[in-house]
Amino acid sequence: MPTAGPDRALFDVLEDHARALREKFPARPGFVDRLITLLDEAWAQEEPTLASVAKKLGVSTRTLQRRASERGRSFAALLDDARRRAAMRWLAEADVSLGEVAFLLHFADQATFTRAVKRWTGHTPSEVRARSLGIAPRTAEAR
C-alpha cells in the first residue's frame, strides 16, 4: 500500500544502512581518475605512452582508449592535460631553467615548449613563471 506521507522511521533505518555500506565499501576512484593520477606521476620518471600506461593499468591499449572515450576524453587529451599540469609545477620552480623544463617534459626543443604553454595559457613560459612567483611582468618600456 502506498504511504500517505514520508516514513521518518524507515528513512532513518535506510540512512543508517547506507552509511554502514559506505564505510564498509569506500568508493574507489574511477578509471579516468586512476588514469589521471598515473599520468601525473609518470612525468617524474618518463614520458608516458599509451602502451606503458595501459600496461600499468592492466588493460589493453584499445581498452584504455575506449574507457577514456566513454567518459568523454581521449588518451591524447588526458596526456596533454597531465603535461600541462607538470609544466605549471615546473614553471613555479625558479631554479629550473625553461630549457630544463622543456627537456623534462620531453618537448623537442624550447620553442615547441613555448608554443604549448601559449596554447595552454595564452602566455609565454616566462610570463607564467613570473605570475606563479609573484614577480611583476616586464613591460614594453623596460625592455
Query: Would the pLDDT of 139 be above 60?
Result: no
CB atoms within 10 A of CB 25: 8
Going 10 to 11 to 14 to 19, the CA torsion angle's sign is: negative
Which domains are assigned to the chain? 31-133 (1.10.10.60)
Q: In the prediction, which pLDDT does 49 show?
A: 92
Query: Would the pLDDT of 141 be above 60?
Result: no
Q: Percent of the chain, pLDDT > 90?
A: 49
Query: Would the pLDDT of 16 be above 90?
Result: no
- Give the span between the Cα atoms of 32 and 21, in whole angstroms: 24
Query: Would the pLDDT of 120 be above 70?
Result: yes
What is the rounded average pLDDT for all residues in the chain? 86
- Give the span between the Cα atoms of 66 and 120, in whole angstroms: 25
Average pLDDT on 58-74 reads 90
